[in-house]
Structure 1
Amino acid sequence: MIAQEQIPTVLDHPVYDPEGKKIGDAKHVFVDDATGRPEWVTVKTGMFGTSESFVPIKDASLVDGHLEVPYPKDRVKDAPHVDVDGGGHLDASEEQRLYEYYGIKWDEAWQQANQPGEGGWAHGTAGAAGTAGAAGMADRDRGGLAGEDMGMEATGRATGDDAMTRSEEEMHVGTERVETGHVRLRKYVVTEEVQQTVPVRHEEVRLEREPITDANRGEALSGPEISEAEHEVTLHEERPVVETRAVPKERVRLRTDEVTDEETVTGQVRKERIDVETDETGMTRDRDADEGRGM
């Protein structure tokens, strides 16, 4: 159990699950309206801490400057979304829904809050102690604890003047670098048929006859008058010969180019509004409207 005086130590500090995984940072502590006992802590989760998840603080503990809760990270992140009104107040139905999600029986939680050993506390709805809360106390106008008597603002800050501080949430969008895939070069061999025309030559036999003349008479009468003879001619031809050689053709490499696109990110931010109530006319005016929403 986190004591009331430990709330400033919890706020804006990391929150871890039982396995040592960081869930997020503690944003608000909600305390019981009637007792001031810490009941819930909200943890900023999601990308850039854009969401807040409620976690029971009853069985949480402070370890080495951070808060440990007995619930897995995924269970906390998937907790029901609860809209807290402008006063930072958690009503009974919302609190019951959260108890059921975390497997805590509403009746048992109510009985424990009313045990005499716990100081006779009566279980009521929970109000928030903001990040700047002194001792984590919230405004008790809605719950019964008089914050005005303690000289505190609605946010719990000690103050000596009569001014209110109006705050707004601003959305800050950043980028993170993530892997989207892998591209690799792979070289492999394929076989293709290639046709090429090449001229080839061959020899053919042609029979020539010539008459006996004075020019060739001597060669014609050089042998016997009547005899048998044989003469042979060798024929030749050219045939295609295929030879392959590896020839470098090109160099191939992978390079990455950064391309900038624009994406529209939609989120929700909360803004505080200050109304001016007058006893003279009984009417309520929106100060933002009077001042052109310039606050």
Structure 2
Amino acid sequence: MAMETEIRNLLDCHVVGSDGQPIGKVGQVYLNDRTGEPEWVTVRTGFFGMKQTFVPLANARRSGEEIRVPFDREMIKGAPNIDVNGRLALEEEADLYRYYGMQPSGIPQQRSGEPRTRGPFTGERFAEQERGVPGEPLGERGVPGEPFGGLADERDIDMTMSEERLRIGKESRETGRVRLHKYVETEHVTERIPLSHEELVIEREPISDGETATPLEIREEERQMILHEERPIVGKETRPVERVRIHKRDVRHEEIVEGQVRRERLEIDEEGITRAEGEGLPPER
């Protein structure tokens, strides 16, 4: 009953990607045919959750109703499209493991074409069991909060190591604005200008007796002369005196960007002897 409870709990979970983005709700659970442990789940993706995509439970961790897997949303959505109505064939599961960059355990011991998984287990299947429809026996489960899958007598153990990397980019932001505005300024101007005017000059010249040929009649006579002068006239004209151009240019500089990233380290505990990754192996006995 413990395994049945575990599968029920998995069917109530939502899968979350390595980037923290929700992927979708668990649709079906597939068990390893040899160990009886949950090995795959399908995730409802696409519009209205109509598409179901296979996701491996290896290196996944469950917390409450969330299953966090070490793959992002885009990778899961691009997984091979496999029918979810039956068992996983050997070739299908190998394709999935190859896509996720994982080494399948126990596949070389199988014959080609032979399925490795029980299932699928769905909410409808549990409903059939409650109504008395016989189903397949369920085995034991792993410890909650630990990677799915129990102990197995394997020659090799695979574990995926991950690390975070800084993703550095550039953005353009506004630092200031420049406006050109011209205005009218009134200035008082004083200039000295030369002017001329006409004045009356009277010159008298006596006439000698010998120069008069014809006697003149004495009478009244009047003549006029017009006098002129220059006066200043102030006029204005507009003419260009200066052209102003403004342009912007790029100025290059460097800044130091710092951040913190996390990296997974491996620690091996063998019979009470703990050593970190990279330390030498103990001498053979």
TM-score by length of 1: 0.41
TM-score by length of 2: 0.42
